[in-house]
Structure 1
Amino acid sequence: MLKYLGLDAGGAITITAQQIITACEYLFGVSGHPLYGWFDPITQGWQTNQANGGWPVGTVWTQILRPSQGMRDLISVKAERGSATVSLTNNYLNALGSQLSGQALPERQMAIWLARNREDLEPGPVDVAALIREMKAQLRLDKAEAGLLLQDFLVEYDAVDAVGHWSGATLAALLPSPPLQPAELISIPATESLTAEEEPDSEGYAWTEEFARVGLPDHDVRALVERLSKLVAAADLVLPDADNLLERCVIGLLTGHVILQGPPGTAKTRLARILARAFQATSTMRTATADWTTYEVIGGLRPMRDSTLAPTLGYVTEAALDCARVVRAAGENGQQQGLDDEVNQRGIASWLILDELNRADIDRAIGGLYTTLSSTDSADLASTPVDLSFEEDPDRKRLWFPGRFRIIGTMNDVDTSYVNSLSQGLSRRFQFIYVGVPEEDQVKAEVSLCRKQAQDWLSNQYEVPSLSPLEGADQEGEGGAVAYVALAEKFETIETQIRELITWLRYEKTNEGEPLCGWPLGSAQVRDLWKAVLLRGSGADSTVKSLIRTLDVCFADRIVPQMGNLRSTHVAAFASHLKEQYPDLEETLRAVKHLSNTQSVR
């Protein structure tokens, strides 16, 4: 981006907020989508229009104004009000090569992407080599820089014609479909204007000090656990040692912030939402990413379209302020009775759920919140407001966290190679609660509930009537009883196979009584298997054989790829088990064997 803005070796450029916005729109912008306004062509990932600037504009501007050590090896920065003067270091090429470590960008993919909005390209053959030359010129890359940054990986978009022929439509049409709009983002405006005319709330933050002394109104552990148990049962969750787990969650939240950690697919995120409801609190969810800095967490200066900078809160401080407003609206006693009674009721607090917390380098991003998060005691919160140094208004430079505010984090503790660790100092500020897979004697109930959840999904998503013969299937009329029994037998066969496979992977023991595999495969993965099976079973031509084939393919395509972190001996043992006990699961066996030797033909 800095090269695109004109930065060359031996020189310096002055960058404004408007230039950052223009460059981000050129490199990442996608027009015409109300929610997902940004697309990363390298990771193929969509990003939302975020109220606080977010990625890429806010993140890039923060990295320039407060560069990390890696960035300081590449650039020198002199920040001024509304602008920054940037120059390359004398050793930037060596530093760049060291940081990339051979991970160059796909040359052809970048060239095609950056030409996405060009109106001068006509339908017909396109000279991709010419596009590459034009891209290098636009990005002002010399031979040495291009050699480090770009490499032709022959990575192409799904539409092959885009590489050899121009479709006439913009390349934005070739992008993968954005994800479904998350429920927690529904209230985000369709388009963020980013203009200086957006005046912040004129009210300062001094009033929040009063609510630092207002704690949670209910501390009856038994009553809270009972309420939480009912919500968990209504959500069809099967939790290991549920009574103990839920009590630990309740006590943890009464005393401070908590982190739910465990394998993927164990309903940590769903449980986090339910915990907030049990305390009569609403919740906002944010998913952590590797790009997070103090800008995303605490806040900073947000670039505006008129080249000015405006202060904006980060996710945590914004959530704490929202909680203070809810507490103020609820009144000190906060005696509202349940969130389900009134759709618009805000509850007695508003909490923040940080999903996949360790995807971010949270120790670096949490910054000045260390002290504030160390305690939820009223006296401590009243004496340790968060310092908002980026605010100009003296009444907005300090923000007090309410005594009712809680953060619930979720962490995947299996994929340790792809996540960041938390320091002991930060870990002390949370109670870590392990959420594992159901126990062996719960597997039957778990698989049955996963089937019910998949059926609910199928009914809601595609309006397919119930396929479950145990829930109101019609046994009357000609052929009704026969069809009922046949349907029951088909799905019973599948349910038995899923149950046996899950039990073996999790709990099978060696002759010495040690876990043979011990793989904590989550309930979410079981639900994925049922979705595929029920989709196939909704057809009139479905048979036991076709359903087993569907289970086989889905297990091979969705479950086996997740076994990459297992030891080779565990994979080999599962392959032997499949060969001996499940000869019909041919595709799964081939996928498992291929996992052991990826150089082999599958």
Structure 2
Amino acid sequence: KTSIARFIAEMLGFEPVVVTANAHWSRVDVIGGPMLIGTGSVTWRPGVLLEAIARHVEAKKRGKRGAWLIIDEINRADVDKAFGEFFTIFSGPEPREWIIPLYIVDEWSKYSSMNRDDVYRDILEKVKTSLKKSDTGYYVPPDFRVIGTMNYVDVANLFAIGEAFTRRFVRIVIDYPGDIDKELKVLLNRIGRSSEFVDAIKVIDDDLLNVIKSITNELRKIRRLAFGPAYLLNALYTFLAHVRLKLTTGMPIESVKKEVRRILRYAIESSLSITPLWDDELRQEVKKVLDNVLGS
């Protein structure tokens, strides 16, 4: 999802500003707010939204179309705690309704004026001098965008995303790729660009590719599991790292090929065990798939 969002931004001429949300996010992280710095003084640090808007302005001056903010795993943040003023800024669907309230910029200016060593002053000046001003605030550039990504499969285990928040976005559901052969080709080509896997990748022949495809297709039938390209890529990296380790210790490649199913099982299990939904029930479902395809 994040790769697609980044690709779209770049193809349209916008620089992607990618951040990952987390449960500790607050107003300071998204909008901005006062914070202590190393010298013991207080400064006003802009959050990811205002910083991205400033990056948008700066990118335009460099000949780019601007910058877009991409918030990965957006539902890992507590929306009520972190995005309160996001609702105010993006109050409606039309760009003419997107306004940074004056009180936010005034608050920022107040703290900046009290700290002569304010490292964020240049960002403040970009906002104040480059954005169109109204009686109530500063207009967000109409071609600026915020993209949020999330997994539907683990939505019950993370913070709730209310309708008031989601209606400020266009919702696009991204399903698994429809062509597993093309997907694997793209992922393996990506891995193959790394010189460290030149020898290890040779163990993946047509038979092993078919095994990987069968496992992938079956895992994607498990409702509680999101085995997308990112997880598949991670499993392939883990698999090839273990193959490479055996080759570097002197094991002949033909001997390694005899162990590829065991190594593949370990790679998939270790990659999936870090998902927040991993429990005994899900482990058993994954084990059943691996037993059926690889043998118990």
TM-score by length of 1: 0.40
Report the alpha carbon displacement of residue 571 of structure 1 after superposing the two structures with TM.
6.0
Q: Provide Cα deviations, 1:20-79, integer angstroms capped at 9, x if missing partner.
A: xxxxxxxxxxxxxxxxxxxxxxxxxxxxxxxxxxxxxxxxxxxxxxxxxxxxxxxxxxxx
Letter in structure 2 aligned against 1:582: L
More helix, by proportion: 2
Say whether the 8 Å CA contact 2:236–2:267 is kept in structure 1: no
Q: Is the 8 A contact 2:6 2:16 kept in 1?
A: yes
* 1:385 and 2:94 matched: no
3-state SS of 2:18 partner: strand
Structure 1 counterpart of 2:218, from 504, 517, 520: 504
Distance, in Å, in 2 between the alignment partners of 1:563 and 1:545 is: 33
Distance 1:376 1:520 in 2: 31
Rg larger for: 1
Aligned equivalent of 1:426: 165
Distance 1:563 1:354, change over 3 A: closer
Q: 1:529 aligns with which of 227, 232, 235?
A: 235
**Residue 435 (structure 1) aligns with:** 174
Counterpart for residue 71 of structure 2: 354
Contact 2:153 2:223 in 1 (8 A): no
- Correspondences of 1:390-405 after superposition (within 5 Å): 390-391=107-108, 392=110, 398-405=137-144
Q: Which residue of 2 aligns with 1:282?
A: 15
Shift in alpha-carbon separation, 1:377–1:502, aligned structure 2, 3 A:
same
Query: Using the alignment, how far apart are the partners of 2:36 and 2:234 within structure 1?
Result: 42
TM superposition shift of 1:502 = 1.3
SS at match of 2:172: strand
| Matched ranges for 1:195-344 at <5 A | 268-327=1-60, 329=61
* Aligned counterpart in structure 2 of residue 542 of structure 1, from 253, 258, 276: 253
Classify 1:304/1:445 alpha carbon distance in 2 versus 1 (closer, same or farther; 3 Å): closer
Q: Partner residue of 1:174? A: none
Q: Which among 177, 181, 195 is matched to residue 444 of structure 1?
A: 181
Deviation of residue 360 (structure 1)? 0.9
Query: Deviation of residue 436 (structure 1)?
Result: 1.9
Residue-by-residue CA offset, 1:500-545 (whole Å, 9 max, x unaligned): 11112224xxxxxxxx768441112222232234345552612321
Which position in structure 2 is the counterpart of 1:556?
269
The CA deviation string for residues 243-276 of structure 1, in whole angstroms up to 9 with x for no partner, is xxxxxxxxxxxxxxxxxxxxxxxxx111111111
Report the CA distance shift for 1:375/1:552 in structure 2 as closer, same or farther (over 3 A): same
1:144-165 CA distance string (max 9 Å, x none):
xxxxxxxxxxxxxxxxxxxxxx
Runs (5+) with no aligned partner, structure 1: 1-267, 330-344, 469-486, 508-515, 587-602
1:365 to 82, 88, 110: 82
Report percent identity of matched pairs: 22
Aligned to 1:117: none
Partner of 1:41: none
Residue segments in structure 2 that go unaligned for 5+ positions in a row? 114-124, 129-135
Please say if residues 288 and 354 of structure 1, whose CA atoms lie closer than 8 Å, have aligned partners that are also in contact: yes
- Alignment pair present for 1:455 and 2:192: yes
Residue 351 to residue 517, structure 1, CA distance change in 2 (3 Å): closer
**Contact preservation (8 Å) 1:281, 1:346:** no
- CA displacement at 1:361 relative to structure 2: 0.8
Deviation at 1:435, TM superposition (A): 1.4
Q: How many residues align?
A: 265
Query: Which SS does the other structure have where 1:323 is aligned?
Result: helix
The separation in 1 between residues aligned to 2:77 and 2:23, in whole angstroms, is 4
Q: 1:443: Cα distance to partner? A: 1.6
Distance 1:280 1:552 in 2: 41
What's the CA shift string for 1:306-365, capped at 9, x where partnerless? Answer: 5432333221112112313333x2xxxxxxxxxxxxxxx551111111111111112321
Q: Which has the higher contact order (CA 8 A, sep 6+)?
A: 2
Post-superposition shift, 1:402?
1.0
RMSD of aligned C-alpha atoms? Answer: 3.2
Q: Distance in 2 between matches of 1:313 and 1:282?
A: 19
Taking a change above 3 Å as real, the CA distance of residues 567 and 373 of structure 1, as seen in their structure-2 partners, is farther
Are 2:53 and 2:144, in contact at CA under 8 Å, matched by a contact in 1?
Answer: yes
**Mean CA deviation greater in 546-555 or 529-538:** 529-538
Contact 2:72–2:148 (Cα < 8 Å) also in 1: yes
After TM superposition, the score normalised by the length of structure 2 is 0.76
Q: Give, in angstroms, the shift of residue 444 of structure 1.
A: 2.2
